[in-house]
Structure 1
């Protein structure tokens, strides 16, 4: 049976609502908002060839206020027409709760209680959106790179303002048609990854090559209507050059500078910043992706790695921080695009993205990593950082994320002290939150 339909990956089929949740420990009084996370959750059996990235999205949320856990809800994102239900990230911007997916998918707006409102074009972003916009902490604008298999070798850089509409958008030419899951932001640059996981029409089983103009119809049929067992049409291309691009924020394609690196793949950026003429980019680096396993990201361990681009010399240095296999890196997002010291990640056991019980804390200045093991039978997910106050120090805050407990068969929303990784509180949920993707703390305005 497909590994992404078993154990903690297995979907849940009941939409639950529960109030006044049981809490172990003490919830800080200053937490007033919702913790939201999304992931794939196919409502029916998608077949043995199912790819984890292609399950319909389900959002799980907990409302915290006045030291209480007021409610838990899980809801499917209900797409309209041929739209693919977003399954990759959920966040709040310009007063709207948005569920997003990449590769040309349409963002969807949700209510405060996580019911589906409908498609949201973010003020005419063309060609779909992305799973990983990055917010500039000074301006509040969202910066993003969006791609689609229908666009050939063109991707879009967009800036969405605090009013929820596009302020700036420009096309960037890349080598071929790569999967660009994430980007990065510095004070003056957008960072673009042009890496060797590329569109592969042959991944759509049983279909002969088609002209590019037919590609959108073919993939729409394959992904949204269940043919080809929902194969992801991207695979590793050993002949594709790996490179990182720096685009000045208000620039155009003509202003991009490209820097070659050794072949690899990057799903997620920890953070990036400028230091003199260097651009420093901390990522989780995979040696390859979708080369032998086409059901999910199962190509061996991934490590926290720093790329330092010397823009004066035109060279890139690469440094691996430690040997922990990990994914889902996060940082204090008040420092997005600025120099950071700390990062946090979920430890990964064996191959793929099956997480264990370990939360990792990195000090990229001292070069040390601290492990916090939550106990046998527990599986962590992505943890995000929530500062204690708007002006608190970088490491003064809480790490927050869902943890599955095999002993109870249910999940908890776990809060850890970001400095010590010690327990603060756990909110006990009425059901299981399947292994999924990304989430965020959305404070009450």
Structure 2
């Protein structure tokens, strides 16, 4: 499937260069490989990101493009295929003159933030109230997924998270989900290995924050209640001027306090085609805090720890250390304060928060001052003490050619430059079968080659960051969000 796009200049950085959307869905087989792919790589590397279907205009926010998933199938030392496909939400299917898949229910969006496999389903995920979408093995859209009827999909419900974390012992998927329609409540849920939500706990937060990620330990859930919050003015910019004060007045009395009624949601939606900008903004009056909730407790048992104002999109990992909870994060000094169409408010650095359950205090220390994002670790250690972490370096607010390997025990960082003109994306760790060392495996990630306008799937040795192999793709994989290795199941 290909679309003809109107070519025009734009001042929006998130519509130019490698942020620009691709307009064609490709299928390519028997891909060219440089180097030697490890034989144990039997599965699919999947990654997703925003890829606007039409022309979203110069005010477009990077986070709001319709999702497109990119995948490479590896087996027996070969790269068997590459595919890229838009996620067919109802609007995308209609725009492509295709039948609508399934019944999305309340909020509906072409999921664009994460893609993973759980309980035999390939899931495209997004946050903020929209449902996950299930995909086939070949990345075609099955339809919205409600986890066997256990995920509420009515307006005003939280949808699901874009950033669940799997417990490596139980195989269950833990998530914290938010939506502006939920007022000052977020939901912690546990998705069991059969693909059904077996536990859901409501947690009260201070207002209506954006909550992209959280952290999991063996005993606790770690909640990030930080000062990027729903902005009524931005959300109602398209509401007709005569009724705008009334709608804003009603929303200001509700948002961050109570769930929003279906009638009011519909009223706001009828006001216009929706704001072209994400309706979340830096709120200097909102307290920054981290919550710690025992995994088997009710929401009232959460304990809050105040921290200095900042914003966190991504945690690296967390673990229990006696009466302390240790959380490693990528810390932004603020977010969406002056730049409103993407994350660019100063260097994002790696930091550690230590939350003392005995004293009720929080301590923050910097771990690495290089600008970076998309932290990953050996997920066999999710919720357990970790030594190594990986991230991608940023330059002037955009992805550079640097991959970072942090040794948190030694306090050192190894830096790998991928070469002039290369743009790295998130790399995920894949362990070597039978290997027990935390860095015994490879890193997988897409890298864009600016000069050729093409991308590769790069394979790096996780211990040395040296090249192992590169799969050369027939097209470009735009700058995007999260990816995961999906191994072939026996």
Is the TM-score greater than 0.5? Answer: yes
> How much does 1:412 deviate?
0.1
Q: What CA distance in whole angstroms lies between the structure 2 residues aligned with 1:221 and 1:377?
A: 45
> By how many angstroms is 1:43 displaced?
1.2
Q: Distance in 2 between matches of 1:356 and 1:313?
A: 41
2-structure distance, mates of 1:345, 1:206: 38
Among residues 215, 218, 225, which one is paired with 1:187 in the alignment? 218
Task: Tell me the equivalent position of 1:324.
Answer: 370
Cα 1:202–1:218 shift into 2, 3 Å:
farther
Verify the 8 A CA contact 1:106 1:119 in the aligned structure 2: yes
C-alpha separation in 2, matches of 1:30 and 1:424: 13
2:191 to 160, 173, 179: 160
Task: Give the Cα–Cα distance (whole angstroms) in 2 for the partners of residues 327 and 226 of structure 1.
Answer: 32
The 10-residue stretch of structure 1 (155-164 or 73-82) with the greater mean CA deviation from structure 2: 73-82
Aligned: 1:231 with 2:280: no
| Match status 1:147 vs 2:195 | no
Name the one with the larger strand percent: 1
Q: 1:91 deviation in Å? A: 0.0
Residue number in structure 1 paired with 2:266:
217
TM superposition shift of 1:86: 0.2
Residue 310 of structure 1: CA displacement? 1.0
Q: Which residue matches 1:108? A: 133
Give how far 1:220 is off.
Answer: 4.9
In structure 2, what is the Cα distance between the partners aligned to 1:166 and 1:193?
Answer: 22
Is 1:397 paired with 2:423? Answer: no
Deviation at 1:219, TM superposition (A): 6.1
**Residue 144 of structure 2 aligns with which residue?**
119
Cα shift at 1:189 = 0.2
SS at structure 2 position matched to 1:150: helix
TM-score normalised by L of structure 2: 0.88
Distance (whole Å) between structure 2 residues aligned to residue 246 and residue 438 of structure 1: 25
The CA distance in 2 between the partners of 1:31 and 1:219, in whole Å, is 48
Cα separation, 2, equivalents of 1:398 and 1:49: 39
2:419 to 363, 369, 375: 375
Matching residue of 1:196: 227
Deviation at 1:206, TM superposition (A): 4.4
* Larger Rg belongs to: 2
- Does the CA-based 8 Å contact 2:238-2:273 persist in structure 1? no
In the TM superposition, 1:7-156 aligns within 5 A as 7-80=17-90, 83-123=108-148, 124-126=150-152, 127=157, 128-156=159-187
Instruction: Report whether the alignment pairs 1:441 with 2:489.
Output: no
Shift of 1:173: 0.2
Query: 2:374, 2:266 → 1: CA distance?
Result: 32
Alignment partner, residue 7 of structure 2? none
**2 CA distance for matches of 1:171 and 1:296?**
30
Q: Which 4+ runs in 1 deviate beyond 6 A?
A: none
Deviation at 1:227, TM superposition (A): 3.7
| Partner in structure 2 of residue 176 of structure 1 | 207
Segments of 5+ residues of structure 2 without an aligned counterpart are 1-10, 91-103, 252-259
Q: Residues 336 and 219 of structure 1: is their aligned pair in 2 closer, same or farther, counting only changes over 3 Å?
A: farther
Deviation at 1:116, TM superposition (A): 0.1
Q: How many residues align?
A: 440
Equivalent pair of 1:35/1:439 in contact (CA under 8 Å): yes
Give the Cα–Cα distance (whole angstroms) in 1 for the partners of residues 288 and 63 of structure 2.
Answer: 23
Extract unaligned runs of 5+ from structure 1. Answer: none
Preserved contact between residue 40 and residue 432 of structure 2 (Cα < 8 Å): yes
Q: Is the 8 A contact 1:58 1:75 kept in 2?
A: yes
Paired residues of 1:379 and 1:403 also in contact (CA < 8 A):
yes
In the TM superposition, what is the alpha-carbon distance from 1:366 to its structure 2 partner?
Answer: 0.8
Considering only aligned residues, what root-mean-square deviation do their CA atoms show, in Å? Answer: 1.3
Give the structure 2 partner of residue 419 of structure 1.
463
Shift of 1:215: 5.3
- Pair 1:242 & 2:288 matched: yes
TM-score, structure 1 as length reference: 0.97
Q: Per-residue deviation at 1:407?
A: 2.0
